[in-house]
Structure 1
């Protein structure tokens, strides 16, 4: 059965203000065009799927965004470096303040507490948030290559198959996507969480325990997977192929969604993330280099992680909600979360038109702009 161990809190806080790199006229033109388009799409919305959606926000004067600071939660510099690699942190009509987290659960807790406006996370943290009835909403979705979601063992480990994990001590972050992957992997092999000994640790602590032999296996995601493979010769016993849905989400606080100016800034931010995700797929070396520069993660590690494939935007539709609900039900059946978590009640689709348009066309006047050709 799971047991808790003391956790260190290595979360760091990094703040930055994006500065314009073009002429003042170009800045005003780009900001006005994008902000007006975003405001129109937020108002238009999308209501074909019967999931939670707060009242539509009133229009916001683009000039009002100049006074907005959007506090964004990030994991290992992933979102910040993604946007910088696509040159999408220049000419912002609002400020961004970055706060870095080691995993999704503390990021969502920060959103629930109003400490951040939005942040990106994996599939499982949103389920635990729904179970806790946290005051947050999923506002956009993406899907990635599940081969980076791995259960690792040391190179000299006798564990070769999922069946060999029976009785093993597995380090994993509670409520993380890796927790969901362990559950799904065991279920696919006809096993349950009772067949293993889960040790709940944050990534940094789990890595130390893994290296020292205090645990038999480590369930984690990239860039940690790539780091353990390259630095320690770790082997993958199982990845997410065939049992993980690969979804990731941007999650926003209810307070942010209820504030017209911050909601408009959020719409712009989500559009930029979607455009950057598509751009990174065809500019992987650039993505890897900027990620390494932003975080000091060695370039070979970021290259390996990026090579596994990008997270690409997908509609926040019934298919996504149903897949997440199935995972939530599995956690409930396993006794990990009490009762049934209603995933659909924590989904807000007001930004879907904005994000999908940006994924398709890019952001005007930036390298992601596919209407005039990327530069």
Structure 2
């Protein structure tokens, strides 16, 4: 049987889902759930994104037997989550590789305490179906939609550089995903730099194809970021350590059970199952827990320096002042290759 393509209208449904990779600067609504997990007098305030940490921990059975309480707050993207960390409203939360750079540039009180390394095939420059563009060098003079300050923004800059181009050689249109999708599908832009699951949405709906992806040009990192104040509390530090161990086991579960996770993720976000599964296989299942180490700091410093050079950050950022490696344990180096997803 031939699968029907995902209707284009469905692409507009889940645009507030998991934006960990996103670092866009649009205003984002925040919802604080009243539900909690666990027991005990200690409460760990955790920032999350739709279809994010809570969903995967619950699916993997990692929210059982907690001797502390988790209070979940849901954010639509990384920047407002880190604003909450800075304001001490959240103890810890998950984001992609770019929001911490901008938070550091704003002198926010944050500490990167854990990292995962995944492949970057979902970070892509997409062109519409029927586009005559065949290689990144041909983007010169073309219009490209991207969320400003996002991981896709850095991927676009790095991909242009690899092709011998600069942002000045193209027409960058700063658009958040909902607007970018509309511009992309209506032909108002020539290309769209974005991340999974949006990449998988476009491909599954046969709305476009990949011109270039992030493999070899971006670091593929994602983070858990904590409030330094919470880390000065011994009991909360112990809870953070336990929470991170559970997240690492949950990611292992995703690798072993991609279909089960795709079903949960689709239900939680409104994504069509085919899109969720494609995104899991392309990007999510590959992630491996790695150490917060010197190569990681250097990689993030390069991102910061790039945005400073483009005057998108107000000045020099010393990223080494915004990490805390105490939870590394015996984790492999941040440069360790992501897992290769194997079809069952």
Give TM-score scaled by structure 1 length.
0.75
Q: Say which SS state the counterpart of residue 106 (structure 1) adopts.
A: helix
Q: CA deviation at 1:305?
A: 0.8
Over 3 Å counting, the alpha-carbon distance change for 1:13 and 1:150 in structure 2 is farther
| Structure 1: runs of 5 or more not aligned | 20-64, 357-375
Other-structure match for 1:43: none
Other-structure match for 2:9: none
Q: CA deviation at 1:344?
A: 0.8
Other-structure match for 1:236: 210
Query: Deviation per CA, 1:65-109, whole angstroms, max 9, x where unpaired?
Result: 712332322233122222122110122222223333333223222
Q: Is the 8 A contact 1:331 1:337 kept in 2?
A: yes
Other-structure match for 1:17: 36
1:332 aligns with 2:308: yes
Q: Say which SS state the counterpart of residue 326 (structure 2) adopts.
A: coil
Q: CA deviation at 1:300?
A: 0.8
Please give the alpha-carbon distance, in whole angstroms, between the structure 1 residues aligned to 2:45 and 2:185.
35
Other-structure match for 2:298: 322
Q: Is the 8 A contact 1:150 1:240 kept in 2?
A: yes
Q: Is the 8 A contact 1:114 1:255 kept in 2?
A: yes
Q: Say which SS state the counterpart of residue 353 (structure 1) adopts.
A: coil
After superposition, residues 262-301 of structure 1 pair within 5 angstroms as: 262-301=236-275
Q: CA deviation at 1:353?
A: 1.8
Other-structure match for 1:105: 79
Other-structure match for 2:327: 351
Over 3 Å counting, the alpha-carbon distance change for 1:7 and 1:243 in structure 2 is closer
Q: Is the 8 A contact 1:288 1:306 kept in 2?
A: yes
Please give the alpha-carbon distance, in whole angstroms, between the structure 2 residues aligned to 1:235 and 1:160.
10
Q: CA deviation at 1:239?
A: 0.7
After superposition, residues 68-79 of structure 1 pair within 5 angstroms as: 68-79=42-53
Please give the alpha-carbon distance, in whole angstroms, between the structure 2 residues aligned to 1:209 and 1:18.
41
Please give the alpha-carbon distance, in whole angstroms, between the structure 2 residues aligned to 1:72 and 1:205.
29
Q: CA deviation at 1:7?
A: 4.8
Other-structure match for 1:137: 111
Q: Is the 8 A contact 1:77 1:100 kept in 2?
A: no
Q: CA deviation at 1:128?
A: 1.4
Please give the alpha-carbon distance, in whole angstroms, between the structure 1 residues aligned to 2:185 and 2:213.
20
Q: CA deviation at 1:173?
A: 2.0
Query: Deviation per CA, 1:339-364, whole angstroms, max 9, x where unpaired?
Result: 321111100012222877xxxxxxxx
After superposition, residues 123-134 of structure 1 pair within 5 angstroms as: 123-134=97-108
Query: Deviation per CA, 1:299-355, whole angstroms, max 9, x where unpaired?
Result: 111110111233210111112112222222222233322332111110001222287
After superposition, residues 33-112 of structure 1 pair within 5 angstroms as: 66-112=40-86
Over 3 Å counting, the alpha-carbon distance change for 1:334 and 1:160 in structure 2 is same
Other-structure match for 1:29: none
Which has the larger Rg? 1
After superposition, residues 202-213 of structure 1 pair within 5 angstroms as: 202-213=176-187
Q: CA deviation at 1:232?
A: 4.6
Give TM-score scaled by structure 2 length.
0.81
Q: CA deviation at 1:240?
A: 0.5
Q: More helix by proportion, 1 or 2?
A: 1
Q: Is the 8 A contact 1:131 1:341 kept in 2?
A: yes
Q: Say which SS state the counterpart of residue 126 (structure 1) adopts.
A: helix
RMSD: 2.4
Please give the alpha-carbon distance, in whole angstroms, between the structure 2 residues aligned to 1:66 and 1:149.
41
Q: Say which SS state the counterpart of residue 37 (structure 2) adopts.
A: coil
Over 3 Å counting, the alpha-carbon distance change for 1:212 and 1:95 in structure 2 is farther
Query: Deviation per CA, 1:182-227, whole angstroms, max 9, x where unpaired?
Result: 1111111121122223333332333233233333322221112111
Q: CA deviation at 1:115?
A: 3.0
Alignment length, in residue pairs? 307
Over 3 Å counting, the alpha-carbon distance change for 1:256 and 1:208 in structure 2 is farther
